[in-house]
Chain A
Amino acid sequence: AQSVTQPDIHITVSEGASLELRCNYSYGATPYLFWYVQSPGQGLQLLLKYFSGDTLVQGIKGFEAEFKRSQSSFNLRKPSVHWSDAAEYFCAVRPKAAGNKLTFGGGTRVLVKP
């Protein structure tokens, strides 16, 4: 069955430190890949996306993600975290072949220590 896994439920990071959030997917072929962020009381904001081409993609708010086909992964990174990055982060995928729906991972909640 197709699935998206975010192994880390919670991550605590100090302000200014680097952050990496893991995402693994299980699909027959490489799907379209997305990262969304949900700040407290807010909706889901698109951070970045991968469709094809360069496997390192840049997004908003200083985030980047790297697609690794061999590992079926699409990990999100930020070199230096700000207090405002405290939020929940969701990896999502959509098959290329057919269908419209996004399948989401369980999310990773990021806490930022001063």
Chain B
Amino acid sequence: EPEVTQTPSHQVTQMGQEVILRCVPISNHLYFYWYRQILGQKVEFLVSFYNNEISEKSEIFDDQFSVERPDGSNFTLKIRSTKLEDSAMYFCASRSTEGYEQYFGPGTRLTVT
């Protein structure tokens, strides 16, 4: 069964450093998403991406964040200058054009020290 994959599973970085979180969505999906879950809090939407552009973003998704689909398979989330409060589990999701359900990857735990 096709699945969304994410790398790395855990990333530790120092405050102020740039990080890139990587995702490989399900191959025939065209809608891509990033969500995050700060420990003990709700899963929160960050951004959706379709047709090589951002279709929707939340207030959290400020200028420090960017997304990219650098090739036909990867979808990345970049945080330019990490802050302590960026520590969270980051989930990538994708969906097809036929359905409304989103399929999630296993997540990347980002720890900013």
Query: A94 contacts B42, CB within 8 Å?
Result: no
- The residues of B that contact A46 with a CB separation of less than 8 Å are 101-104
A43 within 8 A of B: yes
Shortest CB-to-CB span from A67 to chain B, Å, is: 15
Query: A105 contacts B42, CB within 8 Å?
Result: yes
Question: Interface range on chain A: under 10, 10 to 19, 20 to 34, or 35 or more?
Answer: 20 to 34
B31 within 8 A of A: yes
A104 within 8 A of B: yes
- The residues of A that contact B42 with a CB separation of less than 8 Å are 104-107
Query: B91 contacts A102, CB within 8 Å?
Result: no
Greatest chain A CB density within 10 A among B45, B55, B93 is at B45
Shortest CB-to-CB span from A49 to chain B, Å, is: 5
A46-B101, A49-B101, A94-B100 known; A103+B106 contact, CB < 8 A? no
Query: B56 contacts A99, CB within 8 Å?
Result: yes
- The interface bits of chain A over 70-105 (1 if a CB of B lies within 8 angstroms of the residue's CB, else 0) are 000000000000000000001010100001111111
Provide a sorted-by-A list of 14 A–B residue pairs whose CB atoms are within 8 angstroms.
A43-B107, A44-B91, A44-B104, A45-B104, A46-B103, A51-B100, A90-B43, A100-B48, A100-B50, A100-B56, A101-B48, A102-B33, A103-B45, A105-B42
Binding site for B on A (CB under 8 A): 32, 34, 36, 42-46, 49, 51, 90, 92, 94, 99-107
